[in-house]
Structure 1
Amino acid sequence: MLANKRLLLIIGGGIAAYKSLDLIRRCKERGASVRVVMTGAAQHFVTPLAAGALSHDHVFTELFDREAEQDIGHVRLSREADLIIVAPATADLMAKMAHGLADDLASAVLLANTRPVLLAPAMNPAMWANPATRRNAAQLAADGVAFVGPNAGAMAERGEDGAGRMAEPLEIVAAMERMLAAGGPLTGRHVLVTSGPTHEPIDPVRYIANRSSGKQGHAIAAAAARAGARVTLVSGPVTLPDPPDVDMRRVESARDMLAAVEAALPADVAIFAAAVADWRAADEAPEKMKKDGNAPPPLALTENPDILATIAHRTGGRPRLVIGFAAETQNVVAYAQAKRARKGCDWILANDVSAQSGIPGGVMGGDTNEVHFLTAEGAEAWPPASKTEVAEQLIARIVAALGPLEIQS
């Protein structure tokens, strides 16, 4: 179950840190890749040299390490992992997590994290029983953090006994396997989706927009999350509820959307389902433009950034799969195939949004879609289906194209 999984182990400062060295070995035996973060206190009990020798990787210890931050960074450390394990999870680390503190590398990684977290608490029984620790543990559990242990038994301190012993390495491995088994075929992948329209202001009241309900993009984000992916959904203004288990980024304009997309990278897959306005007002009026009985003022337009082409043509950090949408009213397949080549994306899903599409109520705003799936190899017509079914079919194609998750050395 741990084979080809990317694990991030945070070692806290407690005598139980010696067990974390065995935990690294157990994970490596099962084919996992292990990166290690050590707190300053942890280094009083075990050395980075020992952890690095067992993990076969660099051990990260400093938040303000210039080389490590430029190359990896505390955000990437958390987001490139399938699972984060804190062992031992000290009372101090738990308190920082519960209250959102980030004054060292370990706590900064945990605050920037969007991946599942497993805590293996280890502390003196009186510390574990303290009301403050109990409140912190309850808050972390409510936040979705998982626990293994602590166990009861003799403590390192002479004469101390009770609940507070860190779970044994094999117990922690079993808990990790249970958590990862709950994932789907996209577990460990990051899928970025855009959805909805963009609103390009003319003045504080009026705007330019495309017709889009966001239903297809939101359905794709939900399907990717059900498949186990970590999903970032960048959405323009819609009236839909947020899909469960996705990281929502709400934007208004095309420029806002591009900035949010670039901030969400790196991603394994980027799916651009949003109906981005091609143009915006060249000069946004600071006040509402009033009718005065004369001819309307001229509206000069300027081109918006091309989000799909920008990401598809990235020379560094390009998602492995870049997928676009094409809403056409005529020559649907021909226009979409030309768009795919021009934009540089891998796949295009094209749909006929004309009144002659045959979709009751129309594609825009409706619950049904009929798409042509286009790749460099050709076009494939999908039968009319609900937007949820279209999303599931697309995710199945993505799973097949990506194959098993590979470890980046």
Structure 2
Amino acid sequence: MQEQIELKRSMGIWSGLALVIGTVIGSGIFFKQAGVLQDAGSSTMALLAWLTGGVITLAAALSIAEVGARLPKTGGLYSYIESLYGPTAGFLTGWMQVIVYAPAVIAAIAGYAAFLTANFLGLAPRDASWIAVIYILFVVTINLLENRVAAGFQVLTTSIKLIPIAVLIGYGLFFGKVDALGQTVHQVATAQNGGFGVAILATLFAYDGWILLANIAGEMKNPRRDLPRSLIFGVSIVVFAYVGVTYGVFHALPVEQIVKLQNNATFAVAQTAFGDFGGRALSLGIIISMLGTLNGKMLAFPRMAYAMAQDGLFPKYLSKLTKKTQVPTNAIASVGILAILLAIFYTDGVDRLSDLAIFAIWIFYTAAFFGVFILRRKAKIDGTDKLDTLFKSPLYPLMPLVAIFGAIFVLYSTIVSDIYGVSISLIMVLLGLPVFFYYRKKNNVLR
């Protein structure tokens, strides 16, 4: 009889916090201020956009925290949708994330980190492609070891990335000489100036990624307790960091200069504070930050593929756990290979591919937020409601409703601005149906 190998429950609250913070905070916190400012039209409205996006994200995290506490399974969003709406909807959720979004976003992050690294080292831009491959291989190798190694690396990189964030906030607050509030952007309206709604949309995309914590629930020591805490505290810290850095930059530089500098605004603040050393130190901090984000993606996404394979909806080899490390080795290697292939052969298209997948993912987010109402109603009907022992989203039903309306706003805005991309996204989702029917028949999945 073959020995049953299970995922190792070794991750606690600190690993959870590091995954939430480290996965969300990549490079966007250092580059998004000018874009949001242009759309919002003034520094006050830009800060309000970041805060509004943060409130919506926190409401979403509170909602998923309750769903996750009731359904503490490995697989995250796939497992939630599968439990709530059945295997077809669950499969399409995982299909879009594992086959399209995961390799695309990993390749995109690795490619951008590699480009910054090439600049930092004075190498030619063409060298960025092999640096990207090295970065992906590096995080794959870390994740093939015991999960505590990847979790430890996540804690380390998250701690390091918080240093430049704290410096930018501190310098802006205490040494900035510009009024952070009330500055107006005086410029000719362009296609980039989308208004307050578009500014909020940009912040919501910058806040995205926190839900990946749910993918590793099966490896947390106490997921019913630690998953909600990690989500809530982690998202709260991220919101504080985004709003804080934005306020610090607005307090240090006039808005017209921020718009003119675009992605170089935070570098200008760092160079003002510490000279050329500050700019290079910030570049290094961003590279480390992106490596942490890369590791978080590689830690989370293969667990979804593993859960789907366990349910008989993906190739069986993806459900294999290595006896020594107790991690889904084949799933990790497969996601890594797909990302490397994209990084090598589809460099110019990975950003667009990941953008296309986001619309479909937000459809499944919306469905998961409705899950709070479904699970509460079901528990009440069958008499199994144990709200005293489970995490309960506060201010119910306000929090899940805020999350739902925020998600609908994202979907509506995307449809209005990119109907072609939306159509491609939906087609990519539907392409998963024949694959689902094949594996359901092959493995006799009856659920």
**For the superposition of Structure 1 and Structure 2, which TM-score range results when normalised by the shorter chain?**
under 0.3
Compare CA radii of gyration and give the structure with the larger one: 1
Structure 2 length-normalised TM: 0.19
**Which of the pair has the greater relative contact order for Cα pairs under 8 Å at 6+ separation?**
2
Structure 1 length-normalised TM: 0.20
Which structure: greater helix fraction? Answer: 2
